[in-house]
């Protein structure tokens, strides 16, 4: 029986080895694919609780890079900005099916286009997963009811 060489043994990536709650801050943050979908405004029906997604970007979202322009200080500007954590993912039922946090919480594998899998942070935009080219800046949007869309979900 032969023993595989060191080169033949590949280490599995951290997201396959660790539960979300076990990840370091850097590992956790690297799960974000940069799609920007979670930074689109949402409307919640007060009676049914149903969430309607819009194509309106939070004022801090750079609609080209699909990243928050003030990520570390975002709560100073947007007090109701939600904080996703391993212990509260179930509360974020509106997260898109493509969200890595949701994917891993549901026991699924990261998709081929995810930057951690592909090694290419632009691929999420190239294949049309992100809000790039589809999001409307908050300042130009007008009433959110006029911007309800189905694609972020």
Using DSSP bridges, classify how beta strands 136-137 and 51-57 pair: parallel, antiparallel or unpaired: parallel
Q: Helix (H, G, I), strand (E, B), or coil: what is residue 27? A: helix
| pLDDT value at residue 90 | 86
Residue 58, domain member (yes or no): yes
| pLDDT value at residue 5 | 53
Strand partners, 107: none
Count of domains for the chain: 1
Model-level pTM?
Answer: 0.86
C-alpha 16/C-alpha 1 separation (Å) is: 28
Residue 78, domain member (yes or no): yes
Residues of the chain where predicted confidence (pLDDT) is lower than 50? 8
Host domain of residue 43: 20-149
| pLDDT value at residue 82 | 87
Residue 62, domain member (yes or no): yes
């Amino acid at each position: 029986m032969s023993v595989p060489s060191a080169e033949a043994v590949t280490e599995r990536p951290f997201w396959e080895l660790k539960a979300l709650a076990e990840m370091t801050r850097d590992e956790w943050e690297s799960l974000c694919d940069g799609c920007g979908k979670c930074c689109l405004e949402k409307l919640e029906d007060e009676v049914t609780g149903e969430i309607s997604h819009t194509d309106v970007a939070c004022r801090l979202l750079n609609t080209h890079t699909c990243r928050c322009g003030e990520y570390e200080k975002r709560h100073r500007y947007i007090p109701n900005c939600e904080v996703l954590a391993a212990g509260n993912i179930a509360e974020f039922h509106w997260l898109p099916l493509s969200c890595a946090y949701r994917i891993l919480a549901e026991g699924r594998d990261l998709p081929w286009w995810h930057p951690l899998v592909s090694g290419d942070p632009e691929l999420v935009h190239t294949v049309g997963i992100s809000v790039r080219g589809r999001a409307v800046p908050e300042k130009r949007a007008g009433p959110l009811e006029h911007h309800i869309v189905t694609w972020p979900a």
